[in-house]
Structures are given as C-alpha cells and as structure tokens.
Chains A and B, each alone.
With several copies, the nearest count.
Chain A
Amino acid sequence: MSEARAATGDAATDDAAFRAEARAWLRAHVPRHLPPMGSPEGFAAHVAWERALFDAGWAVPAWPARYGGRDATIAQWLIFEEEYYAAGGPPHVTQNGVSLLAPALFELGTDEQKDRLLRPMAAAEVLWAQGWSEPGAGSDLAAVRSTATRVDGGWRLHGQKTWSTRASFCHAMHGLFRTDPDAPRHKGLTYFLVPLDAPGVRVSGFRRLDGDLDFAEVFLDDVFVPDRDVVGAVGGGWKVAMATTGSERGMILRSPGRFLAAAQRLVELYRRARATASPLDRAAVARAWMDAQAYQHYTWQQAGKLAAGQSVAAESSVAKLAWSELDVAICDAALGVLGPRAELVEGAPDAVDDGAWIKAYQFALAGPIYAGTNEIQLNVVAERLLGLPRE
C-alpha cells in the first residue's frame, strides 16, 4: 500500500475528484445481481466482474501501479470502498488473496514473489484460498499439525486443512505448516504457497450454514512445494500469519463501506415496512445505523493515525469486535422489521429483497467467529491495549 498523504486541502480536492471518478465508473458498471459465489457459475460470474474491475484499474486501487493498482491513499481506498458498496458492488472473489496473502507478501515476501504473484492475484487470474485452520486448530492456530519436510529443492507437505473458503474453485492455497516438530507451538511453523492442482492435493467442498458450497477441506499427501514458494523465513510462519491476520482483523477486510451500504439498505427497508414495524424495531434500526456510522468514524480516525505513521496493530481487534457485532445488529434489525417474512429465502415468491437479509444474517453470524473469535479479540484488547496480565 502506498504512502498515505496528510489530509491537506489539496488532498481533500483530490479525494473529491477520486470519489467522483469512482462513483461514475461504478454506477455504470456494477452488475445488478450475481449468483452466490459458492457455486461454479456464481464463482465464474464473480471472477468475470473482478477482471472487469481490474481492467479498469479499480481492483486494488491502493496498490502500487506496478502490481495493477493506482497508488491511492488510505483515505481514497476508504472512499472507494464506500462508493463500491453504495453502488451495490458484490464481495470480492479475490479477497483471500488480496486481503490476506498480499499484506504478508508486501511485508515479508521477496521481490520475485511480489512480481510473480501480486498482479495475477489482483487480476483474478490466480484465485487464492487460505489454508490455516485444521480440524484441531481453529481459534488455536498455533496447534497446526500439518507438516512440511525438507527435501531437495523444496518441501513435501502432509496433512489436512479445513474451512478453506471456496478452495474447491481456487487455483492455489496459502497457509501454515509445521516444519520443526520439536520447536514450541508458535515456533517451527513455516508459511507455504501450494498449487491446488499439484499431485497429492485433494479438495473436498462442503456447505456452510446457509447451504452454499463455500467451504472445503484440503487433504495434502506428499505434496511438493519448491523453495521459492516459502513466504518469509523457514520457521517464521507465525510472523507471516500475524502480518496476514493483523490486516484481516483490521481495515483491509472489513472497511466501513460495506456496513454503511447495508445500514442504508436497512433504513430503506424500514421505510418500506414502516406500517408493520414496532417501536422496538424502529429503535433497533436507528441503533444499527448509528453503529455503522460510529464504525465509519472510528475507521477514519484509525486511517488518520496510519497516515501519520502510527501503528494500529492491536487496535485491529477493536475494529474486528465493532464490525462483526454491528453486522449482526444490522441483520437483526432487518429481520425484526420483516417479522414473519424474515425467514423466507432466495426464491420464495414473497421474499423481500429476494431473501437477502436472512442470507446476510447467516453470513454475519460467522463474523464473531472467524479471523480470531471475538473472545480472543477481547483478550487482545485487555492484554495488549489495556495491559492486563495474561491468564
């Protein structure tokens, strides 16, 4: 991500121009409705949209131009996100590469890796899945048991990953493997890039809460990975994962634009359904809208700190708690407004907004779980920001 500029008067003018340009392009190009990402045709449709975004230079606006970005400031990136979701833009199918792997590559990758990997990732030519979690390593990521053994010119990987989002449709996976079984938990892990069509890889999709085929298990049986596909140092995998999760928890994965747009849709839903909504529904709508505003203001403040060169690493836990809870609050309020129609899903003739709210609710319920459960985030806030003693 390029150096951010201070919010000077010139920057404000630039930002207004940037917003206008983004808005005009997005309003003209954002697709009306794409099928769910967790299906072959839906995945393909999202890939096509992402490529159109890339071709227009909007896939990764905050990246350096050499990797397909446009050197936008943090503020401009936030502006773009606001405009993207306000225009009805869908979630990014490239997300597990662009938001998770890329920050680690920017921080710890070699120049060769950056040159080789970033542009195809942003262009949705190579789609990335994440491979962190295992059946026995969810919240406790350091409990990873999948192994990588040194061989000539590279490594041989064994083990099982799970909850790997859309791995069934992706080309490659990035994740943690144990390279030193004798080292303590957080040590002895190394970060690998694994082609999902390599010999010995088997990917088995499974359905998430809402029935979409959005998850996969990835089984690795003696899979060769060359040395150039190790990210960071051998034994330094934890540091790479932290570079990734730090940004995952923070602003990169969940900028306020998405929630502002959802809160605006909630307000519009309430206006349509006002006649049957109760005073408590009305209050819940107002509160959820206010939650989204507060998160926006918080994020802009954090962006100001980043632009000023301050670190906001531990604060990303505050952000994660905020966005994950406000996302549930928005959906809860919408379901309350919808009342007995809330349960109707996509395809039900009477479903308001074609069942988008109950779908969004199910997606929102994952928020307090993934990327470090909210209980773990509260521990981080207590220990790293407040300085309370560890257990």
Chain B
Amino acid sequence: MRVPPPAPPAPTDEQLALRDTARALLSRECPPARVRAAWDEPAEAAAAPPAWVALARAGVVGMTAPERFGGGGLDAPDWALVMEEAGRAALPGPLLETTAVAIPLLAALGGDALCDRWLGGAAAGRAVLAVGLGGAPYVADAARAHLLVLEHAGEVHAVERAAVTLTAQPSVDGARRLARVAWQPSAATCLADGPRAAAQLAAAFDRGALAAAAQLVGVARHLIEATVDYAKVRTQFGRAIGSFQAVKHHLARAHVAIELAWPCVWRAAHAVAGAGADRAIAVSLAKARASAAALGAARAALQCHGAIGYSFEHDLHLWMKRAWTLAAAWGDAAWHTERVAALILDPTSQGPAHA
C-alpha cells in the first residue's frame, strides 16, 4: 500500500470506439420504451431479455467468452466500458450476470464438455446464464436462464433451468426479475470445490461488483444528463431553474461524484484484468464510490425535477430504481467500505465474506 499502484493507461482509441459502438447500439436497441415494456412482462416470462439477440449479434453478450467459442475474449477494461453503456441505457436483463460473471466462471471451471455445450450458445445469445453467489439471496433473471451457475458451501455448481424451482421475488425495479432458487446440489452439478472454487468465486464476485459499478456510473450519467436538460428548459420564478445556485450545486456535486467514481472503476477494471493483490481494494473502492455516486445522482435528479419526476409515467424512475437496486446489489457502499476498512486497517484480516 505504501507505493501506489501504477496508473492504468487512458482508454485507447479502440476502447473509446468500442464504447461509442455500444452506446449507439444500445440507444437504438434499448430506448426508454423498451425498458418500460420490460416492466410489463410477466415475472415468470422465459422470453429473451430486451435487445438480447441484437446485443449478442454485435458481440456484446459474448465479449468475455474465449474466441474459440465465438466470443470476443475481451478483458475487464474493455467490457467495463460496455457495462457503463448498458447502465446508461438502463438495459434490462442479465448482461452483468451472463457476460461479466457466468461466462468467465464457466470458461475457467467448466471443462471441455460443459464449455462446448454452453459457451458458444451464450455468446450467440441463444443461452442465457444466471448466477447465484453465496452472499446474494436472489438470482436475477433466473426464469429466463437456461443454465444457472450457483455457489453452494464454497462449491461451484452448474444447474440447468429444469432442475431448479423458482419463487419470484418482485423488485422495486420492475425490469429486474429476481427469484429465490431451490435446487439439489450433487456431484454431477459440481464444477469445483476447495481453494480452486474459492479463488474463482472471489474473482467472480469482484467481476460482478465491477460490472455493477460500471453500470451505476452509466445510470448516474444518464440521470444527471436528463436532469441538466430539464433544468435548462423548466422555468419557475421567471428563470430557468438551472440558473438557481441551489440547483446548480446539486447537479455539480452529483457530477463531481461521478467524475471521481469513474476513474476508480477504470482502475478496478485493470486490477481485475491483472489479478493483482490489490484487486479487492480496487473493486470495493469502485463499487462504494459508484454506488454513492448513483444514489446521489438519483436524489439530485428527483429533487431538481420536482413533482414532475415523481410520476410513474415519467421515465426518470426507470433509472432511479436501477440506481437503488444496483447500488445495493453486489455489496452496497457500506459493505464495500467495511471490506476496505478490514483490508487496510486490520492487517491480520482478509476482510469479511462476500456480500
């Protein structure tokens, strides 16, 4: 800790082009109306998530899969940029779970048969993967998944949809489909145990937290951009409300928090890619800052919109609720702050168990 880690390089032109492509794709395939439509699908729907096929065709779903399975073989800094865009679009569906967590976990532990059976289909968008790690009580988009990668007592299991029983657990974010999953672990479903499983589970958790952090930055950016646009045109007391210092300062503070959060995400993405010793600290820093930035952006956005943003018919709540739920998922700011505290202040501790 005494010597700060080397700085990650700035995004390359290729990386920025990747992000721009993802942004264009998502704004075409996942406009707000698609997000809103996802709220109205029945909770148990097994249909493909919105825009999933288009994202798969463009290589987004499989971007983390090895190239021999038709994947992009991208590393964390690349896919984190795409996750930010998914957050900005409030994309429904398990892109985080399938792409950032499950595909690399299967690729690392799945063995040839399982990888052959699932990874190509996942990259092509035919197979949706869901994830349930130990600390998380619910599995997102379990009803849509074809295969679930589940933790049980430190072991990693892969279980097909037909072998699990789901209890839908409606979330305040109607585009987020949670379920409690009941299933029977067995030798046949077990992919790994012991230290090998532990290392992969820890890495998978950090990838999930990183992806959530990246999405939260995107969610926060959208919230502030939409609110700035509104504050420029909405007038009260004969002035655009964005000319009032109180409104300016709310939005400026939210912007500063986002601007400070993103470099933490970027740094964490390199720590995840490099698998360095500081991965846990870097990821927790990123998730804590991104969670706080998104919650702050949601507060500022609603406050500056006023009553007009407090309506279900206005799109603002689609992003606000995503901010609330993603900020709590994969460890909230308090949990990650406590993990950092344990790692830097208690030299004998490895930090608390995963959220």
Q: Do chains A and B touch in the complex (CB under 8 A)?
A: yes
CA of A254 to CA of B243 in the docked complex: distance in angstroms? 30
Q: Would B9 and A7 count as touching, CB distance under 8 A?
A: yes
Q: Would A270 and B169 count as touching, CB distance under 8 A?
A: no
CA of A289 to CA of B137 in the docked complex: distance in angstroms? 28
Determine whether A382 belongs to the interface, using a CB cutoff of 8 Å to chain B. Answer: yes
Within 8 A of B (CB), among A344-384: 344-345, 347-351, 358, 362, 365-366, 368-370, 373-375, 378-379, 381-383
Chain B residues, CB < 8 A from A267: 1, 344-345
- Which single residue of chain A is at the shortest CB-CB distance from B343? A286
Within 8 A of B (CB), among A162-204: 162-163
Determine whether A290 belongs to the interface, using a CB cutoff of 8 Å to chain B. Answer: yes
Given known A-B contacts A278-B335, A375-B246, A388 and B306 have beta carbons under 8 A apart? no
Given known A-B contacts A381-B256, A386-B255, A388-B228, A206 and B313 have beta carbons under 8 A apart? yes
Q: Would B344 and A138 count as touching, CB distance under 8 A?
A: no
- Which single residue of chain B is at the shortest CB-CB distance from A261? B2
Within 8 A of B (CB), among A196-223: 206-211, 215
A138 to chain B, nearest CB (A): 5
Chain A residues, CB < 8 A from B302: 365, 369
Q: Would B312 and A209 count as touching, CB distance under 8 A?
A: yes
* Contact pick for A389, options B6, B243, B255, CB 8 Å: B243
* Contact pick for B136, options A215, A293, A340, A351, CB 8 Å: A340
* Contact pick for B345, options A211, A282, A348, CB 8 Å: A282
Q: Mark A67-82, 1 if CB is under 8 A from B, else 0.
A: 0000000010010001
* Contact pick for A386, options B251, B266, B267, B303, CB 8 Å: B251
* Contact pick for B325, options A209, A307, A343, A351, CB 8 Å: A343
Q: Would A286 and B340 count as touching, CB distance under 8 A?
A: yes
Chain A CB within 10 A, most for which of B3, B167, B173, B312: B312
Q: Would B10 and A305 count as touching, CB distance under 8 A?
A: yes
CA of A226 to CA of B302 in the docked complex: distance in angstroms? 39
Q: Would A297 and B328 count as touching, CB distance under 8 A?
A: no
Q: Would A163 and B307 count as touching, CB distance under 8 A?
A: yes
Chain A residues, CB < 8 A from B355: 339-340
Chain A residues, CB < 8 A from B299: 365
Chain B residues, CB < 8 A from A379: 245, 248-249, 252
A144 to chain B, nearest CB (A): 12
Determine whether B247 belongs to the interface, using a CB cutoff of 8 Å to chain A. Answer: yes
Q: Would B173 and A343 count as touching, CB distance under 8 A?
A: yes
A276 to chain B, nearest CB (A): 9
CA of A350 to CA of B182 in the docked complex: distance in angstroms? 14
B219 to chain A, nearest CB (A): 14
Q: Would A387 and B243 count as touching, CB distance under 8 A?
A: no
Q: Would B172 and A300 count as touching, CB distance under 8 A?
A: no
Q: Would A206 and B311 count as touching, CB distance under 8 A?
A: yes
Q: Would A215 and B289 count as touching, CB distance under 8 A?
A: no
Interface size on B, residues (CB 8 A): 83
CA of A318 to CA of B347 in the docked complex: distance in angstroms? 33
Q: Would A290 and B170 count as touching, CB distance under 8 A?
A: no
CA of A345 to CA of B39 in the docked complex: distance in angstroms? 14
Chain B residues, CB < 8 A from A358: 172
Q: Would B10 and A290 count as touching, CB distance under 8 A?
A: no
* Contact pick for A280, options B243, B255, B337, CB 8 Å: B337
Main secondary structure of the interface of B (DSSP, over half): helix
The segment from B75-83, B100-108, B203-211, B230-238 found at the interface with A is: B230-238
Determine whether B317 belongs to the interface, using a CB cutoff of 8 Å to chain A. Answer: yes
Q: Would A345 and B136 count as touching, CB distance under 8 A?
A: no
Given known A-B contacts A75-B7, A260-B4, A365-B310, A336 and B332 have beta carbons under 8 A apart? yes
Within 8 A of A (CB), among B213-268: 224, 228, 231-232, 235-237, 240-249, 251-253, 255-256, 259-264, 266-267
Q: Mark A293-325, 1 if CB is under 8 A from B, else 0.
A: 111111011011101100000010010011000
Chain A residues, CB < 8 A from B260: 294-295, 297-298, 318, 322
Determine whether B176 belongs to the interface, using a CB cutoff of 8 Å to chain A. Answer: yes
Determine whether B158 belongs to the interface, using a CB cutoff of 8 Å to chain A. Answer: no
Determine whether B56 belongs to the interface, using a CB cutoff of 8 Å to chain A. Answer: no
Given known A-B contacts A308-B10, A343-B176, A343-B328, A286 and B171 have beta carbons under 8 A apart? no
Determine whether B36 belongs to the interface, using a CB cutoff of 8 Å to chain A. Answer: no
Chain A residues, CB < 8 A from B135: 340
CA of A59 to CA of B138 in the docked complex: distance in angstroms? 43
A339-B332, A385-B255, A387-B232 given; name 5 further pairs at CB < 8 Å.
Answer: A162-B307, A301-B263, A340-B138, A369-B310, A388-B242
| Interchain residue pairs with CB less than 8 A apart (6) | A7-B7, A340-B138, A348-B171, A382-B251, A386-B251, A388-B232
| Closest CB pairs A-B (n = 5) | A304-B10, A207-B312, A382-B248, A300-B7, A286-B341
